[in-house]
Amino acid sequence: MTEHTLTVAGVTVDTRHWIGGERVASARTFTDVSPIDGAVIGEISRGTPVEAAAAVAAAKAAFPAWAATSRAERARLLHAVADGVEKRIEELAIVETTDNGALLRSHRRGVMPRVAHNFRFFADRLLTLAHEDFETRGHANHVSWDPAGPSVLITPWNAPLMLATWKVAPALAAGNTVVLKPAEWTPLTASLLADIAAEAGLPAGVLNVVQGYGSEIGDALTSHPDVRRISFTGSVPTAQRIAASAAARLTPLSLELGGKSPLLVFADADLDLAVDLAVEQYDNAGQVCLAATRILVEDSVAEEFTQRFVDKTTALRQGDPRDESTDIGPNIHPRQLEKIDGFVRRALEAGARAVVGGHRGDGQYYAPTLLTDVAQDSEIVQEEVFGPVLTLQTFADEEEAVRLANDTRFGLAATVATGDRERAERVTARLVAGTVWVNCFFVRDLRAPFGGSRHSGVGREGGTWSFDFYCDLKNTVTAPKGFEDHG
């Protein structure tokens, strides 16, 4: 270990920024702490507007050559990055688990393989990206996707590397250069990604990583005149500040924000399946934007559903996420834990009842919680908690179920459990959500559009939609006459 590196479970991580193909240190640092046990992991370079400007300048300088790089070569390099990820899955998994507290088994088996898949998918999509030419009164129309320019990508702490590469991969595939700003609570795997990208042969300045507090460098990145795209995943208040910052220069934005998603359980549903879907919402200690935190159950099966849910929840094992037998790990930060506990305490004071949980555990652990007797207009039903806290309400019929489901300012996702295919079609057609799952949860395909409605976001990413955002679309119209005949 040197002055600018630290060791996490035997893995060496550089604590400096990655700008223009070089490691750059800041005069100040911030402390990275593991949520597992509160242990200090190390001191990380704390970016300032100076480093932010340097990263954008590096991205701008690298952009012309990268934009001119052939699709085949860009795809080859993205596949090389994926190869590097796959070689280091175990290292990436243990570092990210230490940094954000999510289950190690999930990182090994699902999350880090998905990181590699993000690069491979958009590399392959790039090679097939096309729109059928068409004719207008004898004139030929040809649609193309032109690289837009330097892109600022601001990513969250709940799935740091997977959600970062969900943005990095399509931006690079599109021919844009990137400045990645990871969440300050989970900076480590972004630094490892910089190493992997460099080893894969990505040219200097194409990918830059700047660490630090959004309050200190966010505006320097989002208001910079040379930035052509901004993509952000996080909270609504932060998104509002970013949008205000970008508005002065009309910089296009993609915003994937919070959720307060419903799970509708109808009496004709397979109750075992419905209970499994409900308990699955505690994944990642409830720190999932897509989580169906509002469980809505038809009156006639509510009592049976609740009992089965309690039985299954109380059997969950909460503890060290590095243990293969653990089902729920810690919450990310003392500040987040206090926020979660505040939501629950206020709900209980307002008359809610904790059927299970409702209290802190040791350290940064919060007991899986289900609250009933909650009013539709209450804070606990309307606002995103982002922790292992669910509410349960009942409904009398389909009409009431849909009304309750849509009655928040969010619209990220929804889940429906029913044994009636026609009901599923009727209900899903009326739900306000970017993604609806029927008798399943969290099935994601990169070919599908992803994003939210209302306060859950702006825009869609995935498949061709990602290229639509990260590129300037051009239509070239060519007349049938006017060219000199050189034959």
Q: What pLDDT, on the 0 to 100 scale, is given for residue 351?
A: 97
**Domains of the chain, each with CATH number or no CATH:** 5-257+452-475 (3.40.605.10), 262-438 (3.40.309.10)
CB of 222 closer than 8 Å to CB of 242: yes
The answer for residues whose C-beta is within 8 angstroms of residue 120's C-beta and 6 or more apart is: 78, 79, 82
- pLDDT per position as a tens digit, 52-78: 999 999 999 999 999 999 999 999 999
Confidence band of 2 (pLDDT split at 50, 70, 90): confident
Please state, rounded to an integer, the average pLDDT across all residues of the chain: 96
Residue 485 has pLDDT above 90, yes or no: no
Q: Which amino acid is at 127?
A: L
Q: What pLDDT, on the 0 to 100 scale, is given for residue 484?
A: 78
Q: What pLDDT, on the 0 to 100 scale, is given for residue 1?
A: 59
- The span from the CA of 101 to the CA of 78, in Å, is 28
Q: What pLDDT, on the 0 to 100 scale, is given for residue 51?
A: 97
- pLDDT per position as a tens digit, 364-386: 999 999 999 999 999 999 999 99
Residue from 91, 289, 384, 461 carrying the catalytic annotation: 289
Residue 136 has pLDDT above 80, yes or no: yes
Helix (H) or strand (E) holding 320: none
- Runs of H (alpha helix) within 248-333: 271-279, 299-314
Residue from 51, 184, 256, 384 carrying the catalytic annotation: 256
Confidence band of 483 (pLDDT split at 50, 70, 90): confident
**Apex CA 59: angle with CA 121 and CA 48, to 5°?**
115
- pLDDT per position as a tens digit, 394-442: 999 999 999 999 999 999 999 999 999 999 999 999 999 999 999 999 9
Q: Which of 224, 225, 226, 194 is nearest to 211 (CA)?
A: 194
- pLDDT per position as a tens digit, 329-341: 999 999 999 999 9
Mean per-residue pLDDT, 155-172: 97
Helix (H) or strand (E) holding 297: strand 294-298
Q: What pLDDT, on the 0 to 100 scale, is given for residue 294?
A: 98
Tokens of 199: 């080893």
Helix (H) or strand (E) holding 458: strand 457-458
- The span from the CA of 155 to the CA of 157, in Å, is 7
Q: Which of 19, 117, 20, 119 is nearest to 74 (CA)?
A: 119
Q: What pLDDT, on the 0 to 100 scale, is given for residue 99?
A: 97
256 flagged as catalytic: yes
Confidence band of 482 (pLDDT split at 50, 70, 90): confident
- SS3 per residue for 38-91: CCEEEEEECCCHHHHHHHHHHHHHHHHHHHHCCHHHHHHHHHHHHHHHHHCHHH
Q: What is the CA radius of gyration of the chain?
A: 24
Structure letter (DSSP) for residue 111 = I
CB of 278 closer than 8 Å to CB of 270: no
Helix-strand-coil split of the chain, %, nearest 5: 40, 20, 35
Q: 215-228: b or e for each residue (b if 16 or more CB lie within 10 Å)?
A: ebbbbbbbbbeebb
216 flagged as catalytic: no
Mean per-residue pLDDT, 167-193: 98
Q: What pLDDT, on the 0 to 100 scale, is given for residue 154?
A: 97
The dihedral over CA atoms of 420, 426, 428, 431, expressed in degrees to the nearest 10, equals -140
- From first CA to last CA, the distance across the chain in angstroms is 69
Q: How far is CA 28 from CA 73, 186, 211, 363, 415, in A?
A: 38, 17, 11, 28, 45
Tokens of 68: 């001119």
The answer for residues whose C-beta is within 8 angstroms of residue 231's C-beta and 6 or more apart is: 151, 152, 153, 154, 167, 171, 253, 254, 255, 461, 469
The reported pTM is 0.95
Residue 107 has pLDDT above 70, yes or no: yes
Residues paired with residue 216 on neighbouring β-strands, in sequence order: none
Structure letter (DSSP) for residue 109 = I
Q: How far is CA 175 from CA 61, 64, 420, 435, in A?
A: 13, 9, 46, 28
Q: How far is CA 301 from CA 265, 271, 332, 400, 427, in A?
A: 9, 9, 35, 15, 19
